[in-house]
């Protein structure tokens, strides 16, 4: 039974779309509900976020191309200035495709010029009665541009008085985007990481035609059993699956085992997967060099790689809060002016400082510190300006003191 259903699109098209985006049916169904029909007014801006290789870019490209919706797709890393970004949007809108690269018809220096030219482009392309989607991939780069670029894109539908939806794709949360002065809040959609079952299903679809689907699925199951705790990046797992499959097939090719002899196949490939685990994410050697290395009988030297445990990433401000707490715990308060002020003036070395010069603060252990000092150090070590929001205060670690804090 098909999962994706929408009255505006043929069932055959939705069935094709469903087969192209496995394990992302719920997100695609949500996007279809937001998009509505072609002539309906859609949501002004959508913010889609998730970790690397969670299918954000692929799903958006596949959805827009399969349904043949008018859209513009721009990578903000390639268009690293506001002028390049605005002109690239106009170029793709005029050409109707990103494949043809031509100069912008009119230079676009300001966002006011962009709004005027954008409306002209929609009129020339006869897109007044359809929703046009402007997709900005790697949207975190917008934070490095002028302060008015991000708020203007979020309200592009209001500024142009046209049916346009701006879609931001990013790997970081919306709280890292929101300006201190406030802005129009987009609709937020999260793409979770693929589970081990999802990865098994997606990777098993790429089985070679000369082998059965069950044989390749058993190989993927072995591969994920080894690498899932270290690597959950779909692209990296696809690379590892293609790289080591020939070694897995060797006993079958030499007729030493059958496709169902899982134990023999596992014993043959186990040492090679252990070698590959040392170089996950590292491209120190090419694929051909790695295959030659597999053919060697002697053990290669230990290659510096990732830990066998999953890497857990702390939230952005939590990392700086821990650093600030560490600095406040192990440094005396009298040294803050010297360490965290750019123009602190000349500081005399008193006899007291010389007396304790040889005593390491790490040997004395962490000291309690007031909350105001923690926040002052936090504001000085973070590059951008930090607003004292509830999100910051909710991440503090309280350790039982009435007025003082200490690192745990």
pLDDT tens per residue, range 206-264? 888 888 899 999 999 999 998 898 888 888 899 889 888 988 998 888 888 888 888 88
Compute the distance between CA of residue 153 and CA of residue 315 in angstroms, rounded to an integer: 26
| Over residues 265-291, mean pLDDT | 72
Q: In what order do the strands lie in the sheet with 71-75?
A: 71-75, 132-137, 164-170, 45-49, 187-190
Return the structure tokens found at 353: 């400082």
Does any domain span residue 301?
A: yes
Domain boundary pick from 260, 284, 306: 306
pLDDT tens digits for range 108-118: 889 999 999 99
Q: Are residues 324 and 293 in the same domain?
A: no
Q: What range defines the domain where residue 38 resides?
A: 11-190
Domain boundary pick from 134, 168, 190: 190
Q: Are residues 262 and 377 in the same domain?
A: no
Question: Number of folded domains in the chain?
Answer: 3
Does any domain span residue 67?
A: yes
Does any domain span residue 154?
A: yes
Q: Are residues 134 and 33 in the same domain?
A: yes
272 or 143: which leads in pLDDT: 143
Compute the distance between CA of residue 248 and CA of residue 14 in angstroms, rounded to an integer: 37
| Over residues 341-347, mean pLDDT | 65
Q: What is the CATH number of the domain that holds 182?
A: 3.40.50.300
Sequence-ordered list of residues with C-beta below 8 angstroms from that of 306, at least 6 positions apart, any chain: 230, 231, 280, 281
Q: Are residues 332 and 370 in the same domain?
A: yes
pLDDT tens digits for range 137-169: 999 999 999 999 999 999 999 999 999 999 999
What average pLDDT does the chain have?
82
Q: Are residues 56 and 159 in the same domain?
A: yes
Does any domain span residue 291?
A: yes
Q: Quick one: pLDDT band at residue 307, thresholds 50, 70, 90? A: very low
Q: Are residues 118 and 103 in the same domain?
A: yes
Q: Are residues 73 and 211 in the same domain?
A: no
Q: Are residues 52 and 139 in the same domain?
A: yes
Residue 86 has pLDDT above 80, yes or no: yes
Residue 106 has pLDDT above 80, yes or no: no
Q: Are residues 296 and 228 in the same domain?
A: yes
Task: State the Cα angle at 396 between 394 and 402, rounded to 5°.
Answer: 110
pLDDT at res. 294: 58
Q: Are residues 157 and 29 in the same domain?
A: yes
pLDDT at res. 343: 64
Tell me the range of 42-46, 264-268, 305-309, 331-335 where mean pLDDT is highest.
42-46
Query: 3-state DSSP call for residue 306?
Result: coil
């Amino acid at each position: 039974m098909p999962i994706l259903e929408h009255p505006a699109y043929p069932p055959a098209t939705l069935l094709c779309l469903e087969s192209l985006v496995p394990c992302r049916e719920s997100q695609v169904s949500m996007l279809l509900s937001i998009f509505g029909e072609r002539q309906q007014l859609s949501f002004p801006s959508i913010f889609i976020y998730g970790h690397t290789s969670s299918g954000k870019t692929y799903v958006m490209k596949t959805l827009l191309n399969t349904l043949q919706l008018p859209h513009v797709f721009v990578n903000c890393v390639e268009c690293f200035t506001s002028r390049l970004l605005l002109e690239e949007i106009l170029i793709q809108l005029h050409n109707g495709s990103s494949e043809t690269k031509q100069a912008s018809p009119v230079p676009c220096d300001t966002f006011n010029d962009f709004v005027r030219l954008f409306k002209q482009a929609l009129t020339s392309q006869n897109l007044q009665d359809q929703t046009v989607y402007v997709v900005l991939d790697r949207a975190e780069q917008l934070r490095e541009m002028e302060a008015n670029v991000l708020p203007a894109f979020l309200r592009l539908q209001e500024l142009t008085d046209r049916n346009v939806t701006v879609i931001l794709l990013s790997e970081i949360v919306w709280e890292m985007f929101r300006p201190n002065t406030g802005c129009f809040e987009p609709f937020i959609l999260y793409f979770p990481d693929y589970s081990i079952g999802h990865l098994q299903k997606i990777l098993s679809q790429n089985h070679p035609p000369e082998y059965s689907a069950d044989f390749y699925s058993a190989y993927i199951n072995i591969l994920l059993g080894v690498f899932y705790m270290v690597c959950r990046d779909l692209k990296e797992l696809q690379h590892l699956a293609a790289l080591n499959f020939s070694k897995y097939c060797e006993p079958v090719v030499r007729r030493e085992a059958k496709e169902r002899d899982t134990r023999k196949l596992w014993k043959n490939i186990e040492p090679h997967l252990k070698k590959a685990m040392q170089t996950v994410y590292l491209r120190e050697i090419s694929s051909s060099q790695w295959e030659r290395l597999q053919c060697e009988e002697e053990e290669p030297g230990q290659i510096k790689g990732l830990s066998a445990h999953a890497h857990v990433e702390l939230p952005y401000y939590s990392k700086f809060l821990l650093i600030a707490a560490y600095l406040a715990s192990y440094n005396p308060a009298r040294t803050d002016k010297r360490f965290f002020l750019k123009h602190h003036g000349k500081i005399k070395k008193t006899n007291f400082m010389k007396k304790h010069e040889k005593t390491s603060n790490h040997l004395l252990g962490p000291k309690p510190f007031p909350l105001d000092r923690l926040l002052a150090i936090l504001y000085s070590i973070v590059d951008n300006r930090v607003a004292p929001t509830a999100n910051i205060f909710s991440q503090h670690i309280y350790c039982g003191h009435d007025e003082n804090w200490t690192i745990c």
